[in-house]
C-alpha cells in the first residue's frame, strides 16, 4: 500500500532522533568509488535513494553490506564504467558518478538524467566542470559518455551556484593531475562533508564552505570512514510538524549551525527554540504569525527543500504569507492539495501567497519527496481523516517519517489496519 493514513488534530510532542543526511551520504557513496578498497559510512539513513545508489555501485562491481546503520563499501573489484540508463531517471543525483568514474577509470557513461516534477534539472554546469578538467563528453542515444586520457587540474567558474555540479567538480579533481580552483561553488553543508570525507581519504582540498575551493590532485586515495551528520532538512521537517500542530519537539542530534535561516523564520512565526548542550528544543505552541515575505536561496539562505514543509505550516496560520521560490521552477505542487484542505492559495510563477486557517482532512497525493512530507504535516494539523498517497516518494528521503511522528503523538500509520479514528 503506498498510502499514509492520518487522523489530524494531535500535537506532535516529544524527542525525535533524526536520521543521517540523505544529501550528504549520496556523494560520499560516489566518492568511495575513488578508492580500490573498503570505506565505511556510519549512521547512514536506510532510505530508497541510498539503496538505489548502493545498487548502482554494486552494478559497477562494488561489494556493499550493512551493519545496522553502518554501510560498508568495498570497491576493490569495482571495474564497471557504465551506469545503466534506467538509474539516471530513477535518481538524478547519480550523475555525479561521472566525476568519480573519470577519476578512477578516466572514462564513464551514464543515462542523461532528465528533469523531474520540481524542475528541468539541467546538467550543463556538471558537463562544463568535467570539460574544464579535460574530459571529452558526448551524448549518444540518451547516454552521456565521458573520457579523458588523464584529467588535468584547471580553473572552474560556475555561472550559478549548484550543489551537484560542485560535488561533480570536486570528485573529478581530487585525482586529477595538478591544481584545480573552483570558483562560485556551492556552500551547502553537504559540500563541506564531502570535502572532509575526501580529505580523510588523503585528498588535498581547502576552502570548502566558502565561494572558492582549491584542490591539489593526488595519485591515489585510501579508504574513507565518516559518521554521517544528522539530516538538516529532516530536522526542519519535524520542527514544521510540531509547528503545524502547535506542539513541542526536542531533536537531540540536530545539526547545529546548519539551520539558522530556517530557525529565524520559525521564530518570526511565533515559535521559540533554544540549543541546550547540543540539543535543539523547539516550541511551536506560540506559532501564529504569517510570514509577510520570504525567498528561498542557496546556503546559507532559506533552503528550497524546506519551502513545502513551511508552506504546510503557513496553511494553519491566519493571515497572508508570501514565499518566492528562487531555486526550482516548479516547486509549488502541493498548493492545490492545501487548497483542497481549506487554505486560500494563489501562485504566480515563482511566487505563492497563502492565507491559512483551519484545515479539513481529505485524500491528497504526493508528487515528490518534500511535497509529500509537507502534505503529511498539513494532514496532521487538519481536522479529521486524511490519506496521503505516494508514500514511495517520501521513503526516498525519510527513513521513518510515520514511525517518528507516531511516537511523538501523531495518529498516523502506513498500515491502514492500525489506526483508530
Per the document, the length of the chain is 421
The stretch near ligand EPZ (CB under 6 A) out of 20-28, 130-138, 169-177, 248-256 is: 20-28
Choices 60-68, 183-191, 274-282, 287-295 (CB under 6 A): range interacting with ligand EPZ: 183-191
Only one of the segments 2-10, 123-131, 266-274, 311-319 lies at the binding site for ligand EPZ (rule: CB under 6 A); that segment is 123-131
| Smallest separation (angstroms) from ligand EPZ to the CB of 261 | 12
List the 136-140 sheet strands across, edge first.
Answer: 82-83, 107-111, 143-147, 136-140
Cis amide bond preceding 300, omega within 30: yes
Angstrom distance (rounded) from CA 387 to CA 390: 10
Q: Which residue has the cell 502534505?
A: 375
**Residues 174, 24, 96, 331, CA torsion sign:** negative
Which listed residue (44, 50, 327, 345) binds ligand EPZ by CB under 6 A? 327
93 belongs to the binding site for ligand EPZ (CB under 6 A): yes
Distance (Å, whole) CA 185 – CA 164? 10
- Which 8-state DSSP code applies to residue 17? P
212-216: strand order across its sheet? 155-157, 179-183, 212-216, 204-206
8 Å CB contact between 174 and 133: no
Among residues 49 and 414, whose Cβ is nearest to ligand EPZ? 49
State the number of binding residues for ligand EPZ (CB under 6 A). 26
Q: Compare residues 190 and 414 and give the one whose CB is closer to ligand EPZ.
A: 190
Least distance between ligand EPZ and beta carbon 328 (Å): 5
Contact 375, 364 (CB under 8 A): yes
Q: What angle (nearest 5°) sits at the alpha carbon of residue 119, between those of residues 125 and 186?
A: 40
> Mask 26-55, x = binds ligand EPZ (CB under 6 A)?
x-----------------------------
Smallest distance from ligand EPZ to CB 279, Å: 24
Does position 160 interact with ligand EPZ (CB under 6 A)? The reply is yes
What does the DSSP 8-state code read for residue 150?
S
Cα–Cα dist 217/221, whole Å: 10
22 vs 246, beta carbon nearer ligand EPZ: 22
In 10 A of CB 77, how many CB atoms?
11
Piece of the chain touching ligand EPZ by CB under 6 A; list 54-62, 76-84, 122-130, 349-357: 122-130
Instruction: State which of positions 286-325 bind ligand EPZ (CB under 6 A).
Output: 304-305
Which of residues 21, 23, 235, 307 is near ligand EPZ by CB under 6 A? 23
User: Which residue stretches of 290-357 are H helix?
Assistant: 307-314, 335-340
Q: Which of 116, 212, 335, 362 is catalytic?
A: 116
**100 binds ligand EPZ, rule: CB under 6 A:** no
Q: How far is the CB of 411 from ligand EPZ (least distance, A)?
A: 26
Among 18, 44, 123, 156, binds ligand EPZ (CB under 6 A): 123
369 near ligand EPZ, judged by CB under 6 A = yes
Kindly state whether residue 137 participates in binding ligand EPZ, applying the rule CB under 6 A: no
Segment contacting ligand EPZ by CB under 6 A, of 136-144, 155-163, 217-225, 377-385? 155-163
| Residue 259 sits in the site that holds ligand EPZ (CB under 6 A) | no
Q: Is 333 in the site for ligand EPZ (CB under 6 A)?
A: no
Q: Is 163 in the site for ligand EPZ (CB under 6 A)?
A: yes
Whether 116 is a known active-site residue: answer yes
Among 328, 332, 393, 398, binds ligand EPZ (CB under 6 A): 328
Q: Are 150 and 13 in contact (CB under 8 A)?
A: no
Cell numbers that stand for 68 in this block: 545496522
Q: Is the C-alpha dihedral spanning 311, 313, 316, 320 positive or negative?
A: negative
* Residue 177, CA distances (Å) to 150, 169, 172, 215, 287 in order: 7, 14, 10, 10, 54
Binding residue for ligand EPZ, selected from 42, 69, 107, 121, defined by CB under 6 A: 121
All three cell numbers of 308, joined, read: 513545502
The catalytic residue positions are 116
Footprint of ligand EPZ (CB under 6 A): 22-23, 26, 93, 119, 121-126, 160, 162-165, 186, 188, 190, 304-305, 327-328, 369-370, 397
Amino acid at each position: 500500500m503506498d498510502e499514509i493514513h492520518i487522523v489530524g488534530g494531535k500535537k506532535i510532542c516529544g524527542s525525535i532522533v533524526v536520521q543521517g543526511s540523505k544529501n550528504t551520504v549520496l556523494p560520499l557513496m560516489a566518492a568511495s568509488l575513488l578508492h580500490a578498497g573498503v570505506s565505511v559510512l556510519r549512521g547512514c539513513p536506510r532510505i530508497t535513494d541510498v539503496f538505489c545508489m548502493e545498487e548502482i555501485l554494486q552494478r559497477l562491481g562494488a561489494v556493499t553490506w550493512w551493519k545496522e546503520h553502518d554501510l560498508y563499501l568495498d570497491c576493490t573489484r569495482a571495474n564497471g564504467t557504465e551506469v545503466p540508463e534506467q538509474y539516471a531517471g530513477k535518481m538524478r543525483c547519480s550523475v555525479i558518478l561521472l566525476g568519480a568514474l573519470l577519476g578512477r577509470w578516466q572514462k564513464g557513461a551514464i543515462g542523461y538524467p532528465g528533469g523531474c516534477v520540481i524542475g528541468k534539472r539541467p546538467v550543463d554546469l556538471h558537463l562544463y566542470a568535467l570539460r574544464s578538467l579535460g574530459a571529452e563528453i558526448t551524448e549518444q542515444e540518451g547516454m552521456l559518455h565521458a573520457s579523458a586520457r588523464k584529467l588535468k587540474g584547471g580553473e572552474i567558474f560556475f555561472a550559478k551556484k549548484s550543489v551537484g555540479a560542485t560535488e561533480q567538480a570536486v570528485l573529478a579533481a581530487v585525482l586529477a593531475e595538478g591544481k584545480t580552483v573552483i570558483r562560485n561553488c556551492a556552500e551547502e553543508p553537504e559540500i563541506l562533508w564531502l570535502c572532509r570525507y575526501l580529505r580523510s581519504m588523503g585528498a588535498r582540498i581547502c576552502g570548502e564552505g566558502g565561494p572558492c575551493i582549491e584542490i591539489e590532485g593526488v595519485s591515489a586515495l585510501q579508504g574513507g570512514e565518516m559518521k554521517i551528520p544528522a539530516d538538516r532538512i529532516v530536522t526542519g521537517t519535524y520542527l514544521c510538524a510540531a509547528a503545524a500542530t502547535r506542539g513541542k519537539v526536542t531533536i537531540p542530534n540536530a545539526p547545529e549551525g546548519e539551520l539558522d535561516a530556517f530557525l529565524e523564520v520559525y521564530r518570526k512565526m511565533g515559535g521559540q527554540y533554544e540549543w541546550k548542550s547540543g540539543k535543539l528544543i523547539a516550541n511551536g505552541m506560540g506559532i501564529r504569525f504569517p510570514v509577510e515575505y520570504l525567498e528561498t536561496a542557496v546556503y546559507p539562505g532559506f533552503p528550497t527543500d524546506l519551502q513545502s514543509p513551511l508552506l504546510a505550516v503557513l496553511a494553519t496560520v491566519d493571515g497572508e504569507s508570501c514565499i518566492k521560490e528562487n531555486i526550482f521552477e516548479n516547486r509549488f505542487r502541493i498548493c492545490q492539495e492545501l487548497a483542497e484542505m481549506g487554505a486560500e492559495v494563489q501562485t504566480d510563477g515563482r511566487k505563492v501567497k497563502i492565507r491559512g486557517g483551519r484545515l479539513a482532512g481529505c485524500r491528497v497525493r504526493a508528487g515528490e519527496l518534500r511535497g509529500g512530507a509537507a502534505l503529511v504535516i498539513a494532514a496532521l494539523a487538519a481536522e479529521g481523516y486524511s490519506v496521503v498517497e505516494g508514500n514511495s516518494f517520501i521513503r526516498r528521503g525519510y527513513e521513518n517519517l510515520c514511525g517518528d511522528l507516531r511516537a511523538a503523538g501523531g495518529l498516523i500509520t502506513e498500515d491502514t489496519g492500525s489506526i483508530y479514528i
